[in-house]
Amino acid sequence: MIHPLPDIMLEPLVRAGLLEDLGRAGDLTTDAVIVDGDTPVHAVLAARQDGVIAGLDMARLSFALMDARIEFRPHAHDGDAVTKGARLATVRGPARGILSGERVGLNFLSHMSGIATATAQLVELVRPYKAAITCTRKTMPGLRAIQKYAVRAGGGSNHRFGLDDAILIKDNHIAFAGGITPAVTRARAAAGHLVRIELEVDTLEQLREGLETGCVDVFLLDNMQPDMLREAVRLVGGRAVTEASGGITPHTVTAVAQAGVDLISLGWLTHTVRVMDIGLDYQP
Q: Which of 78, 80, 198, 200 is catalytic?
A: 200
222 is catalytic: yes
Catalytic residue among 80, 222, 243, 262: 222
The reply to whether 200 belongs to the active site is yes
Instruction: Decide if 69 is catalytic.
Output: no
- Active-site entry in 48, 87, 103, 137: 103
- In the set 87, 137, 138, 186, the catalytic residue is 138
Q: Choosing from 87, 170, 188, 196, which is the catalytic residue?
A: 170
- DSSP structure string for the chain: -PPPPPHHHHHHHHHHHHHHHHTTT--HHHHHH-S-TT-EEEEEEEESS-EE---HHHHHHHHHHH-TT-EEEESS-TT-EE-TT-EEEEEEEEHHHHHHHHHHHHHHHHHHHHHHHHHHHHHHHTTTSSPEEE--S---TT-HHHHHHHHHHTT-B---SSTTT-EEE-HHHHHHHTSHHHHHHHHHHH--TT--EEEEESSHHHHHHHHHHT--SEEEEET--HHHHHHHHHHHTTSSEEEEESS--TTTHHHHHHTT-SEEE-THHHHSPPPP-EEEEEE-
Q: Is 38 a catalytic residue?
A: no
Q: Which residues are catalytic?
A: 103, 138, 170, 200, 222
